[in-house]
Amino acid sequence: MKSNTFVMLGASLMLSLSFITGCLIISNERTESAESERMERTTADGKEILTLQETAQLLNLQEEQVTNIIKAENAILSNNGVFIGKRLPYYRIDNEFMFSRTELLGWVRAVAAENRIYQGNKMIR
């Protein structure tokens, strides 16, 4: 009788562990799928060329903060003659800043990897 109880207990334990493992796998796949869909939707819905306002929204910054980053990087280039690292990718048409979404996202990855710090219109690190 004891042996039968242990067998039932063991079988119940294995069944519950299998159920929990299956739920975790399904949950992880849904999370990855949702993240993938969100990224695809962002690039599909988004334009490739962005204005200053759209860039600020994408980076979750204010427009002034984006222009301060440009000023900080340009000041280093002017003072040192060289800028080490990747600069914020932009071009100007008349007085309007324009940004490539693809290049901008690459810049974000590079800046994050360098742990770069901007304060006002200065780059600290």
| Residue found under tokens 């060289």 | 82
pLDDT, residue 32, reads 67
Burial (CB count <10 Å: 0-12, 13-18, 19+), residue 11: exposed
pLDDT, residue 44, reads 41
Cα distance between residue 65 and residue 121, in whole Å: 8
pLDDT, residue 39, reads 57
The pTM assigned to this predicted structure is: 0.61
Cα distance between residue 12 and residue 76, in whole Å: 67
- Which ranges of the chain have pLDDT less than 50? 43-44
pLDDT, residue 33, reads 65
pLDDT, residue 89, reads 94
pLDDT, residue 22, reads 74
Residue 93's beta-bridge partner residues? 96
Asked whether the beta carbons of 124 and 70 are under 8 A apart, the reply is no
